[in-house]
Structure 1
């Protein structure tokens, strides 16, 4: 079973589950927002998201066999521990389950058109793995948008269907806050994707890809990654100054667990030379993403029920 769990990137899937659970129960439900999803509906949403993400991870591994053989030979699963045919079967199975669950969920809440979101995610993950991953920034941007969507989709399905004129202002406060978190996820993942491209440049080059470090060179790509790394720092500082400046607990958490690691990662990018440096930086950004998600636990303690959340 271990190869299977490694293939679907179970740790990443757990992070998605934690993020969606915190958005639903530590944020929306705690502040008694007008929500659409019952517990069963929310389970459908989580399972649909996780299934599509698992399918995306599988197809990514299938198309990455050549590059991973060079970059990460000890972590190649397709063709060694799992056959390509079995991997494709799993890819189709997870996609079908995810889309069916998405259709059922959309029907349950009376928003059949929302079903197209799951179809879009499924198609986008395939296009990313099969083509866009090997292009300059387009693949990085697309996969970062999909990471952001894994957060925003909870607000789309839980808040929007019950939004009416009378509660619109109240609902938008919470939707906007999750949108801020989605932007944060997009920025963090975008920097991490560029870092990973630099880390994997040797295998990507031999596979005929045209990623940023291949087209511009590793040194220039590192400078671009350094510049991009400054954006989430500025964004988080703006978020703190706008929403959290009155609360010592929130400011302390964001300074210690978000800003400090972001600055550390930026400094490491500036001095990165070896592949192990880029691997370390990538891990730091993954940790920052997780700590950012955990900050949702702060809201029940630092804010009272109001439209100024």
Structure 2
């Protein structure tokens, strides 16, 4: 159980769940009714998910290794490395998971006939290490990088499912669905960016003691909170624009997005503007998780409303 907590199994389940939604709730149904062509069979897609999870798990481990001092202040009861699992064991797991993930990525890239795609896995693995060891300590840069990587966990499905199968005949359809995935990746990027900023506000005491230079430490909690409020408006306005531009023909999708995405984002923005305590920021962080979940679950509705 300690190892499962170390790799943050709940977060990994969320990644796998979203990728499965993309494959079987969005791409697979429309490949049977439109010109959409997908590349991976069940085995190949399973390898993509496994590779993503291995690299993400390795990233979680290296992040915890570098965060021990901070976590001893911010969440001492949840510290695993040094208490329940040795740092040496954690490093070994980090290396093993990275090697497995990258090797699967190498095989998968050749399986789809695009050997250059292998670089994606290497870059993501390297960026997770650089983020944990260096970028996380820098004002906003670490927040942006990790949020980009979260978005890539969505976009990588489109890269492997859609891009290798593009032909002159199906190019418009392939690009349409790739852009849908890009919009969802952008949504995930923005939600995670806000959440990373909120977590910095929540963890300011431990980060300060560890010598980190996060935004709240650099400019103060109040100013950082107002900037987080401003950034929280981006997914709100983006969601409203998405509904108004693409979903007006479907009352079901309009209702879903308004009730489960837009209204909660308005609530989050208001709470962020008023938040003062660690408890407030923790509540906002949990609300952002819910919005992310409901955003991804909306993929289930496309085959219903667009059939």
Fold in common (TM above 0.5): yes
> Is residue 17 of structure 2 the alignment partner of residue 14 of structure 1?
no
**Counterpart Cα distance in 2 of 1:157 and 1:246:** 30
**51, 58, 63: which is aligned to 1:60?**
63
Over residues 147-185 of structure 1, what are the superposed CA-to-partner deviations in whole Å (9 max), with x where a residue is unaligned?
000000000000000101211111111000000000000
**Distance (whole Å) between structure 2 residues aligned to residue 74 and residue 260 of structure 1:** 34
Q: For residue 255 of structure 1, report the CA deviation from its aligned partner.
A: 0.7
Runs of 4+ in structure 1 over 3 Å off = none
Alignment size in residue pairs:
303
Once the two structures are superposed, what CA deviation does each residue of 1:7-46 show, in whole Å capped at 9, x if it has no partner?
A: 1011110111111011111111100120111111100000
User: 2: CA distance between counterparts of 1:242 and 1:146?
Assistant: 27
Report the counterpart of residue 307 of structure 1 in structure 2: none
Q: How many angstroms apart in 1 are the aligned matches of 2:170 and 2:268? A: 41
Alpha-carbon deviations, 1:265-301, whole Å to 9, x = none? 1111111111010011001101111111100000011
2:82 paired with 1:79: yes
Gaps of 5+ in 1: 305-309
Alpha-carbon distance in structure 1 between the residues aligned to 2:59 and 2:290: 21
Within 5 Å, give how 1:203-282 maps onto structure 2: 203-282=206-285
Q: Secondary structure at the match of 1:165?
A: coil
**Partner in structure 2 of residue 24 of structure 1:** 23
SS of residue in 2 equivalent to 1:110 = coil
Match of 1:292 among 267, 290, 295: 295
Pairs within 5 Å for 1:13-162: 13-32=12-31, 33-162=36-165
* Distance in structure 2 (CA, Å) of the matches to 1:151 and 1:163: 19
Q: How far 1:92 moved relative to its partner?
A: 0.4
1:29 is paired with a residue of what secondary structure?
helix
CA distance in 1, matches of 2:264, 2:12: 23
- Aligned to 1:93, the other structure's residue is in SS state helix
Post-superposition CA distance 1:48-96 (Å, at most 9, x none): 0000000000000000000000010011000001110110011001100
For residues 103 and 217 of structure 1, what CA distance do their matches in structure 2 show? 44
User: Matched residue of 1:209: which SS?
Assistant: coil
SS at match of 1:31: helix
User: In 2, Cα distance between the equivalents of 1:127 and 1:277?
Assistant: 30
1:246, distance to aligned residue in structure 2 (A): 1.4
| TM-score scaled by length of structure 2 | 0.98
- Counterpart CA distance in 2 for 1:282 and 1:150 is 20
1:165 and 2:164 matched: no
Structure 2: gaps (5+ residues): none
Determine helix, strand or coil for the equivalent of 2:279.
helix
